[in-house]
Structure 1
Amino acid sequence: MPRSLQLRLATALAAGLAVLSVAAAAASFHVLRHEIDRISDSALQETAQRLLPLAAMEILGRDADGSDSQRIAAVRPHDELLTYVVRDATGKTLLQSHDADETVFPPKLRAGFVSTATHRVYAETGLEGTMSLLVAEPLKARRHAEIKAALAVGRAVALFLPVGLAGIWLIVRTGLRPVRRFCGSIATRGQNDLSPLDKQSLPVEMTPIADAVNDLMARLERALAAERNITANSAHELRTPIAAALAQTQRLIAEAPSAPLRERARNVEGALRALSQVSEKLMQLARAEDGRVLADTPQDLRPVLLLVIDDFRRAANASSIELDLPEDPVLSRIDPDAFAIVVRNLIENALNHGAAGGPIRVVLSPGGTFSVTNHGQAVQYDVLGRLTKQFERGTSMTKGSGLGLAIVDTIAKGAGATLSLHSPAPGWPDGFQAVIDGLLLVSGRHGTASEKRR
């Protein structure tokens, strides 16, 4: 399955941001924990050094007045975070804070820090080593401070990460906007538009791709132009010799002394007429594939349609044609000559493959929809989808070039319209209908009256 470059970049950057955020949070927590321990140890040491002189004065004063009091009473009831004891050289407790628990303080502790299972203890000596002051802090207080610090870091990461992810998505989407615009310009182009693509707004990394696409389209344009020129020139060059051969054949028919010779000459004449028709169709196909099917200004389609219909009505083999036209102009940017080719091919198709002598209904609607409907044997559904291919014929035994519907489909696509085929014809038990929708209608009032001609 194809993967989105935008999604891949955004996912990779988001994953990187998440990993970096977690790593930064872990590093921050490690630094905060180290700082909490350092500041707490410094507070213990500062407290001990400030209490030691006061404790020495208290003990010396007590010796002077003979007091035995050892526990210092609190000014008001409260829980002590830091507790302390004062011991003499033998380990006897001389003084302690009111919440002090002697089991917390290790015996015979030298000056400095020591950690127990529950407390962090700092010892300081005084009076020439005859007195030791020990200050203890519960380790759970430090752990509680560390948890609060971790939660603060976690909240900061939790707030930053969604904003960072949204920013990454916005940056990636904005950065790839020229690429999407470039792809859109390719997707919205007509099938015959092979002009170079604009690469001015593309990033430097995408410029080689644009150059490669432009080079490919240039080569394709040259190949298609050469193919169209060969087709058009070959068909054009064949017209004169075919016409000359046809004239000589007709003269041969008139001068032939025997019936068998005249019959053979008529067969040659039929083959030359078929070859002339194929040559004409190839010229029409070359024009359709050239893409020049739009006029600079909108024009009314009704006069073109009337002119083609009149040509068919003057033909000796033309069957009854019913024409339904709107009262108001039907303006379209399709080239009049291209529209005439469409009309002629669809009516020829109806004449050649429809029921002999059956009516042919030709309708041009105010909304720019053109349709040709004829009676005849219904065409199978799977055959309908192949009829717009070149040299594709249906199940009819009538001879034809197999190019008429392919020419109509090519011109319709070049004009921004669509050709749809239906069999049986809508509302009929049999028949065939070709409908062209969306002939780039520009303006015109929607009339209701219609002209029906026979």
Structure 2
Amino acid sequence: MTARTARISRRLTLLLTGGIVLLWLLGAAFSVLVMQEEIDEVFDSALEETAQWLLPLATDAVEGRPASSPGLLGEPDNDDEYLTFQLRSRDGTVLLRSHDAPGAPYTGTLDLGYSESQHHHVYTIASGNYFLQVAEPLWHRQEALMESAGALLLPLAGLVPVSILVILWSVRQGLTPMRLLQGAIGARDGGNLNPIEDTGWPEEIGGTVQAVNRLLLRLRAALEAERVFAATSAHELRTPVATALAQTQRLLAELESGLTQEEAQARGRRIEATLHRLGALVEKLLHLSRAEAGIGLSETENNLLPVLRLVIEELAMQPEAARQLSLAIAEGASLRARMDIDAFSIVVRNLVENALAYGDPDTPVEIAVPDDRTISVRNDCAAIPPEILSQLTQRFVRGNRAGEGPDGSGLGLAIAETILRQTGGRLELLSPVLGQDGGFEARIRLSA
């Protein structure tokens, strides 16, 4: 968990720093574009104003001096001049120029207004037979633009490392509640499943704390249920095992004392019945284990009606189902649901076996499919009190048998209810049956 927190810190730091740098670069690029337009406007205006100011001066200077080679205006100095000029005649001859201006004409033609040569931005203005060209080196504007862009980008050199440190510190401070929650969760184990104090946490973590507390409560309830289940299972298994062992030991002792064949066969049948009961209990425990493992839900929708028919046919062939099993399916009814076929067969088998075990042996068990989402299993018996009916889906809770025979395992209804709950369905228990004074009905409601 520590390594994950460190990776989150670094990732957030890099993302936030990168975002700041990117926004700064985008802002600087936009500013450079704006400055380029402004610099062009300012320098073009300077060229135009300089030309208008120099034209009469240069014209007077040329007219007041004898015609000869091109003259120079002004005193030479060691400073670089950004603006230079040439006064030219109509035929293009250079009559007068500044000290830093080239001797050759700036341009081959004398077009009025702004133009550009290989090395200069040029502005041309005319008066009579004279043309004045004021020029600015191309590199001058580029240099001004680069200096302005550098002034915008230079702070990044100091901003990036400072931003990394500030953001890293801020992120680590912001993740402090997560580290505290990590420690609180780490302190929980099998001996300490107490809820985490849910006050004082930031709003973003409060929901996580509540979810963890709900998980801890469910885990504690599950562990407690497992402890009870293990203890009860051991007790339930110990009784038939001890009974079978005692009867076997008695059989051996009586065989030595001259037990008759009929008595030995009767004793053997009692041992066989006890072992059958033990096997049935083990099978129920395996069913419950599979149910709790979450076998109920299927990824695809299955047709469960053939499965229902097959389970009823198999149960009808067993000796304990000697009385008739009645299956009634409404016309057009279909049972399609996202439920595992094996899980569905376990649910139906347990409900029908429960009805056979606790129902009146002289009355058939009625299985009905009244619609596409409902299966009901009814048996005749005395009405079950509401306080007992509400507990029948708990493990190892048994009702009163209507006939002779050993008690059931007390797991059938619990298994059916667990599987149906996993699939989004539900198990409804009714007693007495609607319209009767007695009876018991287990009703399956499949999920839509």
Structure showing greater relative contact order (alpha-carbon pairs closer than 8 Å, 6 or more residues apart): 1
TM-score (norm 1): 0.45
